Amino acid sequence: MGNIVAIVGRPNVGKSTFFNRLIQKREAIVDAVSGVTRDRHYGKTDWNGREFSLIDTGGYVVGSDDIFEAEIDKQVELAIDEADAIIFMVDVETGVTGMDEDVARLLRKVKKPVFLVVNKVDNGKRAEDAVEFYALGLGDYYTVASINGSGTGELLDALVETLPEKEERVEEELPRFAVVGRPNAGKSSFINALIGEDRYIVTDIAGTTRDSIDTKYNRFGFEFNLVDTAGIRRKSKVKEDLEFYSVMRSVRAIEHADVCLLVLDANRGFDGQVQNIFWLAERNRKGIVVLVNKWDLVEKDHKSVKEYEKTIRKQMEPFTDVPIVFISALTKQRIYKAIETAVEVYKNRSKKIKTSELNDVLLPIIEHYPPPAYKGKFVKIKYIMQLPTPQPQFAFFCNLPQYVKDPYKRFLENKLRENFGFNGVPISVYMRKK
């Protein structure tokens, strides 16, 4: 299970600095998901070998303080619902404010671990001032200075202690297809169209991803779990359109899926929020199928499929090798095609290519188009193999790996795609010293 830790608190207490600090140290290893939700508010980090997703709720709010009053309650409620642990950040310079008290009031009722973190404590005087935060009724607090990172170690030690251990999933590992997309794109109607009158369902399993609904589905001689993120606990108090909400929901579903079926509304197109979810799936190295829903409504405008598809692919660059299926959940047009496509993508993602075959096909191509020389040095690629990972990763062994730049890696990726078919699946290409 991917654990989610949410950082809450009023504006300007230093949530983002703290978040960036934690994600940054990880930047070198895992690309923090940039481009997701405008700025970075979602990223993975780890501490003492425990990996978790960190969500900074601060960046989801625009506008003045009074708008913020209403919003912060919403965010805290979301964090309470969705996260495994909550970091509540306050600022020693301003002391306890009315807004801090509001947040504390909501958090006192929570059964989850809540960490009260007093920021900007960078000298002894301020450490003494921090005592007033006992008044919030949340017990002990941690003092940090997120600008230089002091104090974060103790906080993280305590934090990872409380995170639930990874659940060992005992059930047989069926492929998991997650239906994701922004609210109102038609995720529920797509799932209902599939499942509605169908006699193919084997069982309903209570959701493994907290409370998304998993449906075991058997069709075309293929069994899989369908993960529905659409109809999860529509809480009246949480406005469905809250961007933060759909991102938080998608994070969990995507991290546990093999293939993501990204449903978008044909009338709205591949807009910002859809792109965020797309890149979230790509960065997590999941298979992706894009489903353009409500196509029956657009067709009347004679928008050609080709044109529409071209626009979307332009926005997906550089990862354009993704199947796009035009569907209508309402008229059930091509909904089985959507599932067949997801099955193909799943098979592509678990495809293993023999080393001999890789070398036979690619080495001649590389000889024809070698990597460009760098500072008068020539790169020679001697040998290629696929790494034993759950998703396709390839190692190219050569004399000077550091001189092979991104454009050439993309060229290699494209050749892998042309020759071995990895439609819908992100590929990683690594240069290794021979």
Q: What b/e string do you get for 236-268 counting C-beta neighbours within 10 Å, with b at 16 or more?
A: eebeeebbbbbbbbbbbbbbbbbbbbbbbbbee
Per-residue pLDDT at 65: 52
DSSP string, 128-147: HHGGGGGGGSS--EEE-BTT
Strands 141-143 and 114-119: parallel
Block means of pLDDT (10 residues each) for the chain, 434 residues, are: 81 82 54 36 78 73 54 75 89 90 90 93 88 93 87 91 68 79 77 62 38 66 75 43 60 85 90 82 91 79 78 90 91 88 94 94 93 90 91 92 90 95 93 87
d(CA 366, CA 257): 34
**Contact 18/95 with Cβ under 8 angstroms?**
no
Position 296: which residue type? D
**Contact 248/84 with Cβ under 8 angstroms?**
no
Per-residue pLDDT at 10: 83
Per-residue pLDDT at 118: 95
DSSP string, 21-54: HHHHHHHTTS---TTTTSS--EEEEEETTEEEEE
| Residue that has been written with the tokens 């509540």 in this structure | 88
Question: Which H or E element spans position 310?
Answer: helix 305-316
> Which tokens sit at 59?
């960046």
**Cβ contacts of residue 344 below 8 Å, gap of 6+?**
323, 423, 424
Side by side, which strands form the sheet with 428-433? 381-386, 393-398, 428-433
**Bridge partner residues of 150 (DSSP):** 145
